[in-house]
Amino acid sequence: MIVLLPPSETKAAGGTGDRLTTASLGFPGLAVARSRALAALDRLVAAGQDVSTPAKARAAADNAAVRTSPTMPAIERYTGVLYDALDAASLDPDARAWVDGHVVIQSALLGFVRAGDLIPAYKVSSGTRLPGERMRDLWVDAGDEIPGFALDLRSKAYAALAPVAGAVPVEIVSPEGKALNHWNKAGKGALVRALAEARVEVASADALLAWASSAGVPLEGTDEGLRLTVRDPRLVAAR
């Protein structure tokens, strides 16, 4: 099983790993697309970036140093609601190993990366205009790299950017059955943490549902995929 996650706009600074080496990243079939994306980012940097606020200045500096700055595991680089709820740093070694082996994050700059892949800080999103490239053209075939059963927790924008054939999407709803927006990220993070702690190994949505039933995780099948019920505002998996 592969668990597909979206990236986050916010990213941790710094790192202790060596500079980016794309050859060391997972999914080597994306090498050409990564080279094109990085070359386009070089052109964006050369053309000049918006530095009108401290946040934008930091983002511009991150992009300018993307090839030389220190790296850290992708699962630690991305921050925000989803990644805070997952809290990979607090997992025991076995659960963290599960995350490294099963979680894949979709980067707008590097394509699909594994949780343990060492990446730098950068500021490129699905909506970024990279000179000389169309984001969709870069990653439209990236989904071919994802084998077997994939649990899709990506946002619609990222799922459209790199479609994965047969990926099973997960809808996040309140106990009243209402769709959640901002808070669905916490539900996704909580679900991944539960999967990691249980070190779940399944090869189909039906098998995942069987595990969820035995574990008391409120996951159910729908015509479109799966649905997870979370409490609001507590934002933890309802049990």
The residues that bridge with 73 in the sheet, in sequence order, are 118
> If you ran DSSP here, which 8-state letter would residue 51 be given?
-
Residue 236 lies in a domain: no
In the chain, the number of structural domains is 1
Q: Is residue 37 included in any domain, yes or no?
A: yes
Look at residue 104 and tell me if it is in a domain.
Answer: yes
* Whole-number pLDDT of residue 174: 84
- Residue 238 to residue 98: CA distance in whole angstroms: 23
Whether the CB-CB separation of 113 and 26 falls below 8 Å is answered with: yes
pLDDT of residue 25: 98
- Residue 233: predicted pLDDT: 43
Look at residue 224 and tell me if it is in a domain.
Answer: yes
pLDDT at 83: 96
Phi, psi at residue 47, to the nearest 5°? -75, -15
N residues, the chain: 239
Q: Where are the beta strands (DSSP E) in the chain?
A: 2-5, 72-73, 103-107, 111-114, 118-119, 150-152, 168-173, 219-221, 226-229
How does pLDDT run along the chain (239 residues), one tens digit per residue?
999 999 999 999 999 999 999 999 999 999 999 999 999 999 999 999 999 999 999 999 999 999 999 999 999 999 999 999 999 999 999 999 999 999 999 999 999 999 999 999 999 999 999 999 999 999 999 999 999 999 999 999 999 999 999 899 999 998 888 877 767 899 999 999 999 999 999 999 999 999 999 999 999 999 999 999 987 544 444 44
- By the 10 Å C-beta count (0-12 exposed, 13-18 middle, 19+ buried), 220 is classed as middle
What pLDDT does residue 230 have? 86
pLDDT at 182: 66
Q: Which amino acid is at 38?
A: L
Amino acid code (one letter) for 222: T
In a domain? residue 100: yes
Say if 141 falls within a structural domain. Answer: yes
Structure tokens at 181: 């927006």
- Domain residue limits at 153: 2-229
Domain membership of residue 239 (yes or no) is: no
In a domain, 235, yes or no: no
